[in-house]
Chain A
Amino acid sequence: MTHVLRPRAARGIELSRRSFGVLAATSVLAACAGSPRTASPDAPLRVLAINHVWTQAISRYLPELEERIGRRVSLRMLTADQLTSSFNVKLNASATDIDVMTIRPLQDQMMFARNGWIADLTDRVEGDADYRWTDFQDAPRERSITAGAAVSVPVVTERPALYYRKDLLEEFGGAPRTLDDMLDIALETQRRSEGFFGFVGRGQRAGAVTQWSSFLYSFGGDFTVDGRSGIGTPEAVAAYEFYGRLLHDAGPPGATNMSLEQAMPIFAQGKAAMYVDADAIYSNFLDTSISTVTDTVGFAPFPAGQAGSVPHNIPSWSLAVNEFSLLRDDSWEFLRWASSPEMVARLQSEGIPGARQSVWDDPATLASFPADLAEAMRINAANGVGHDRPEVMQVGRARDIVGRPLVSGIVGEDVASVAADADAEFNDFLVRDNRQQEF
C-alpha cells in the first residue's frame, strides 16, 4: 500500500515561497536599477585582448602606462573565437567591465560598430597632431573607418609570405617569381619524393579564403565588383582552378580539412617544398622546438599572377574602446600609447609588424626579421590590398559561400559550375547583408 504523505501547513509554506520570490525579484531589480555610472578611482583599466605576440609584448611595457594614467591595467588574453564570444555576450549586456578591446577589423568591426559597441574615435585620432593619424598606411587606416567614423586603430598588420625550402629550390633558381613557376616547381618536387609535398596551404572551406584572396587578386579578381559578387568572373574561376590544382596535384591528402594549425606543421616538419600563409607566423619556422627547417627556410614575396603580384596587406588586429566603458579617457590613452610611433617602432624592432609607414621606412625596425623576410614584407606591403575576405556584415557566412568552389577545386571537381552556383548565392547574400548594413 502506498501512502501519499502531505506536509503540514502546506498553505503557509506556499505563501512564504511566493513572498520570498517577490522579495528576491524586487531586490535584484532594485540592485540592477542602481548601477554606478562612474568608475571608482582605484578601478583598473580592463583590457580584453587576443592571445598574440603583440599582446604578450605590450604587457611587458604596461608599467609605463600605469604610471602615466595613475591606474592599474588589468589585461586578459583569449583566443580569437573565445574573444568574439565574450564580446558578443558582454557587450549585448552593455558591459562596463571591458574598457579596451582588440578586434579584427575585417571580421568584427562592421557588426560591432552597427551594434553601437565600439566608440567613435574620429575626433581623438584626427585632433591629436602628435598622434599622426595619417602616418598609418592607407590600407589599414581605411579599414579602421566604418560608416565614416574611425572606430579602431590598427596595431598588427599581416601579408602573405611564400615560405620555401632554400635547399630544394636552389636548382630551380630560388623562390618562384610567378604563380605559373610556383605550380611547375611544386609538381616537380612532389614527383621526386614519395611522401613529400610540393606545396601546402590552407584548404578548409572558410579558413582558406583569406590566404586564397592573394591568388584571387593576382589573377585580377576580387570578392565583389561594383557591389555585386565577383566570384563568378573568369578571373576568380581561374584563381579557384589554380589553387585547387596546386593542392590537388602537389598538396597533402586531406587538404580540405587543413587550416593554419594543420598546414603549418607539415612545412615545419620538412615535408613540403613551399607554403603560403601569413607572415606573422614566420617565427614558428625559426624555433628549433617546433621546426626542423630552421636552417633551410626561405622567405619570398607573393608570386605574380596574370595581374601581377597583388597580395593582401591587412590590419589583422586593431584596438577599440568599449562604448559602455566608464574609463573612456584612460582607454584612449592606452590606444594612443600602444599605437604611438615610438611603441610601434619598438614592437616592430622585436619582430611584430605594425601599421605606421614611418616605422616601415626605418630599416632599423626591420633588423630583427630575417633579411629576405623583411624585403618580402616590404614589397608585399607596398603592393597590398586592404582586405583578405569579403567586406560584409556577416563575414562568416560570406566565407562559407566563397569557400565552396575552393573545396571543389581541391578535391578535383568541376570548379566553373560550382563557382556559378556560389556566385548566385553570394549575390543573394550581398543583397540581404547590405540591408543589415544600414546604420
Chain B
Amino acid sequence: MSATTTFRALRGVLITVVCAVIALPIIWMIAAAFKTNVQVTDPTVGLVFSPTWDNFRNVLADGALAHSLLNSLVVGVVSTALSVVVAVPAAWAVGRFRMRRTGSIVLVARIIPAISLLVPWYYMFAQLGLVGSHLVLILSHMFVSVPLILWIMIGFFEGLPVELEDAARTDGLSAFGAFLRIALPLAAPGTASAAVLAFIFSWNNFIFALILADERTMTMPVLLFNFMSYASTDWGGLMAAATLMTVPVLLAAVFGQRFLVAGLTAGATKG
C-alpha cells in the first residue's frame, strides 16, 4: 500500500470519527423525540423501535412552545439585524482607518464572562423598567453579537482591495459613499456568514434570557428546561422540543453557507 493510499485511508477514518462524534448526539436527540420515555431510558433500545408522534403532538398542543419560538425569532432576527447595522460600518472604519485600539476595546465585551455582566445589567435594566421586555434581550444579545460581527468583518474589509474605493473616490464618491456602494456589496458574503453566526448565538443563548426575560418573553432555551422537573424529566417531550428548536438553526446555517463563496473580490478587480 503506497503512502498516498495510507494517508487517504487514515484521513477517511478520521473524518468519519469526527463526523460521528458531532452527529451522534443529534441523531440520539432526533431518535429520542420519537420514543416513549421508557424507550429513551432503556439502553437496549437503539435506533430500531416503533416511532411515536406523541411527543411532538404534546409539545405542539401546548401554546408555550410556539410563543417561545416566536420570542426567540424576534430577539434573534432583531438583535442580529441591529448588530449588522452597527458592526459592519464600524468594521469598515476600523479596517480602513487603522483603528485597532478601538477594535480591541470592543473585543473586551467578548472576553468578559457573561455571568459577571448580569448583576450590573440586571440592576440597571430593572431600574429602567426594562426587565422582562424583548428590548432588554435584544440589547444584551447585541452586546455579544456586535463584537463578533465586527471582528469577522474587519478581516473581510482588510482583504478587499483598497484601490476599488480609491477609484470610487476619484469618481466623486465620499468615503462613506464608497463604503456603501462599493465595499458593502462586496462584503455581502462575509456579512451573511457573520450574521448567521450572530443569529445562532442569539438563538442558543440561555443565561441572558434566564435572568432578563419573564414568562411572556421566555425564549426556547429557557423553555426547554420546563421539561425537567425536580423528580422527573420528560425526555421525549424535551427531545421533541429540542429537535424543533434545532431546525431553524440548521436552516440558517445551510442558507448562510450559500453566501460563503470565495472569489467574489477576485472577480471584481478583473479588467
Contact = CB atoms under 8 A, between A and B. Distances in A.
A417 interface: no
B97 A95 contact: no
Nearest to A46: B214
B100 interface: no
A4 B221 CA distance: 45
Contacts of B7: none
Contact of B228 (A3, A34, A79, A268): A79
Interface stretch (A80-88, A181-189, A236-244, A388-396): A80-88
A290 B124 contact: no
B229 interface: yes
A225 interface: no
B201 interface: no
Given A4-B96, A5-B165, A82 B210 contact: yes
A50 B123 CA distance: 23
Interface string B103-144: 000000000000100111011101110011000000000000
Contacts of A291: 38
B98 A94 contact: no
A2 B98 CA distance: 12
B211 interface: yes
B131 A284 contact: no
A269 B166 contact: no
A78 B225 contact: yes
Contacts of B231: 52-53, 260, 278, 280-281, 283-284
A79 B225 contact: yes
A93 interface: yes
A358 interface: no
A32 interface: yes
A7 B175 contact: yes
A265 interface: yes
A184 B122 CA distance: 56
Nearest to A34: B127
B119 A32 contact: no
Contacts of B123: 32, 93-94
Nearest to B127: A32
Nearest to B115: A89
A53 B42 contact: no
Interface string A91-110: 01111110000000000000
Given A7-B97, A7-B175, A289 B127 contact: no
A280 B231 CA distance: 7
Q: Which of A31, A90, A268 has most chain B Cβ within 10 Å?
A: A90
A2 B162 CA distance: 7
A56 B232 CA distance: 13
Nearest to B213: A76
A73 to B, nearest CB: 12
A5 B96 contact: yes
A52 B230 contact: yes
Interface string B229-269: 11111000000000000000000000000000000000000
A95 B126 contact: yes
Interface in A276-311: 278, 280-281, 283-284, 289-292
23 contacts: A5-B97, A5-B169, A6-B97, A7-B175, A31-B128, A32-B128, A51-B226, A52-B230, A52-B231, A53-B231, A79-B229, A82-B210, A82-B225, A85-B210, A85-B211, A89-B115, A90-B211, A97-B214, A269-B42, A283-B232, A284-B231, A284-B232, A292-B38
Given A3-B162, A82-B225, A93-B119, 15 more contacts: A35-B127, A51-B225, A51-B228, A53-B231, A78-B225, A79-B229, A85-B211, A86-B211, A93-B123, A93-B126, A97-B214, A261-B233, A265-B42, A281-B231, A283-B231
| 3 cross-chain pairs, A with B, having the tightest CB-CB distances, nearest first | A265-B41, A93-B123, A32-B127
